[in-house]
Structure 1
């Protein structure tokens, strides 16, 4: 069954770019791109050495806007348009909240593997694993 609205979470990585390419090339329905700005706190900033400040928050927000603007241009080059959203929060939780609050029935996202605990974490990445496990809709992970 063809989805009616696809969500593509983007983090600026090549795999998330591949996810957007896949979604635009596969589904003939509205596509929304979402970038999640992770709140900066002392525990996440250079091992807690630097305190978060307004400039760093502004830079993170500007990077998020750049990611969704690049996605918009890529969609236009493919003859498509995308809706854009920028949210702040924990990436997996924010993606799941967005799915629940909007008319999304399919998620296409990049997966990041690496040295993580558990097979799923190594194969998909922690955010993708959490979304696959908890999403109430179909999730396609691009690797």
Structure 2
């Protein structure tokens, strides 16, 4: 299997996503990396809830978080291979569609939730990572 040219690393603003980005940068040193900041709709179960913010503000915050994530993980040479994009929707739908539409060769994501709810979702196969794996035609690496 040839090394992928285009790798997608989705981010949802969860802990340990820096590990997925670091893994992608190290494992695929020649690939273009897309850091996709997914903005989950406020009515979705993964919503941060609380104050209802306008979509544009939430998208800007997601882009800023992705930028900070990139700065925390990559040196300037590696950062040149990374572009940041945003997409709004449910991650289990957005990530596979983005990968297909944009010609992504491989997806790398962190799959574990936190706490007992994350464990239960993983155990029952209802986690975001499981959904992405099921719906994505391209290879998906899920870090635990």
TM (normalized to structure 1)? 0.80
1:20 counterpart = 2:21: yes
| Counterpart Cα distance in 1 of 2:84 and 2:26 | 18
Equivalent position of 1:106 in the other structure: 106
Q: Deviations over 1:49-71 (max 9, x none)?
A: x78453xx344223201122123
Q: What SS does structure 2 have at the residue aligned with 1:79?
A: helix
Deviation at 1:112? 1.9
Asked if the contact 2:106/2:139 (under 8 Å) is kept, the reply is: yes
Cα distance, 1:106 vs structure 2: 0.2
Q: Quick check: 1:60 aligned with 2:58?
A: yes
User: 2:142 — aligned with what?
Assistant: 141
Tell me the SS of whatever aligns to 1:14.
coil
What secondary structure sits across from 2:66 in the alignment? helix
Tell me if structure 1 keeps the 8 A contact 2:106–2:140. Answer: yes
CA distance in 2, matches of 1:13, 1:53: 19
2:37–2:86 CA contact under 8 A, matched in 1: yes
| Aligned equivalent of 1:39 | 41
Alpha-carbon RMSD across the aligned residues, in angstroms, is 2.6
In terms of fraction of residues, the more helix-rich structure is: 1
Q: Which blocks of at least 5 consecutive residues in structure 2 are unaligned? A: none
Q: CA deviation at 1:5?
A: 0.5
Unaligned runs of 5+ in 1: none
Could you list the per-position Cα deviations for residues 22-76 of structure 1 after superposition, in whole angstroms to 9, with x for gaps in the alignment?
0001102100000111122398575xxx78453xx34422320112212342465
Is residue 130 of structure 2 the alignment partner of residue 129 of structure 1? yes
